[in-house]
Chains A and B, each alone.
Chain A
């Protein structure tokens, strides 16, 4: 039971900043998932919380106590390693009981507690076995048992499911969530798997290049990605991201790109270079042949591929230059023949065939805009007090 605060934590290995000025506040009872691609610093961050790596700068507080330079054994946190790190020479019983033995608890108490934990994890019959005589799933549970046996202040987990097969991973995910709910303790969980993050976390911290890109509930990070990185990391397939221009036109803010025209809301703005983001599942197909309703968003492209996911289908479209021939757009870019790949996801069948020319639309509330320079999310602040209608309202970078 503990609140963990990380303040300005950095770790420098030679010339690389593995963790770069990270600040996080993990509330008591949170299930915080550190999510990011390989090499984003999530494991280094976790190991610093565990005390296995000393930070270069910054500090770590548990319940207002500075533990930055405390050795691991005095931190009272438990950790499940990716490799499980079960002591190969000890039986399951001795493995689970190890933390209590280190704490010099009486033998009878250790035995009773180990049996209790083993029963919880359905390891009863395996107490006499050595780790090498266990299956991957059983080893994972023993590693969990070793963490559970002494009621630590927080649980740290470093990709604990990555060595399990897909079916077992799904089952264990549910078990871990249930365990977290039952214990109510603080969990810090490292993974690169967005499904694990979305399904288990109460909060997700997305990391890239050692920096925190966004912290929020799964819903927040998915529905309001704070940066292009977050938008492009979450979702399968991830959010479609297209270079585009947002500008005021005829009293409306309109986002345009090659083959794309999306009127958003009333207002005016100087032409701004943006990255346009739309989730594949938010794109709707316009009936073939029918003219698009006036004033509605429109993306035109050619189908380049269709993937059958069983329950759903993903269609891949080339939007822009390649399909420019019959797209009515004003002022082509000439030499730029690149088209953007756009995915559309929906219930099967989507009714798409390779080579089809299709038009898509999207509701304005499902349009995400990001600054082309910083990659941060842009929010619209309608300003009623604009003195002159002609003067554009600026798109502002929203705070994460």
Chain B
């Protein structure tokens, strides 16, 4: 598995794709952060004039929470591009045929690919710590607990998006199909959360509970709920298993 992981990391960092995606991610997140900071500073100035509002102006609620909630939107757009080459390129080059004849199980192959792309995604997310750090310079009582819970949620969300992307990448040898399938599947998990708000009933309640945004909200509020942790872990494991099954299908497909 480590051989695959190292090879994948080499592949990611020897091409401009990972760097470009990281730059886009940090730029858009930076743009959002500046806007949120600007809004927060305006309200802070107003609050100084009206001390009765001072307790209601919270950097955590006004900057960190929307910032963490926007991670999901950025992942929806960028993660399919990050994962598109993972298995689709191996199929396109035909190198997957060789990998299947090396003493590596399909499961090890999937995990090697997943952890490699998770490291790349993790570095991307890790670099975004810059923004809460900047915020801490201006805010005397920084809510670090909220930052930690937010990042726990973001890293779990990242795992879920990446596992969907990896599965999509295993479906064909076309990177375009891989991106579209990953985007489509991720979008379903995005809009599922709306069902609960739009319709009533047990089915909609259940489907609505599968929405990513629903499960991100607690983390961005500073709450680490085991239900949300288990949900993201289950989604990740489910799609990793689907990826494994797609690879294994060569053995039983006629």
* Bound together: no
Question: Chain B interface (Cβ within 8 Å of chain A)?
Answer: none
Interface residues of A (CB under 8 A from B): none
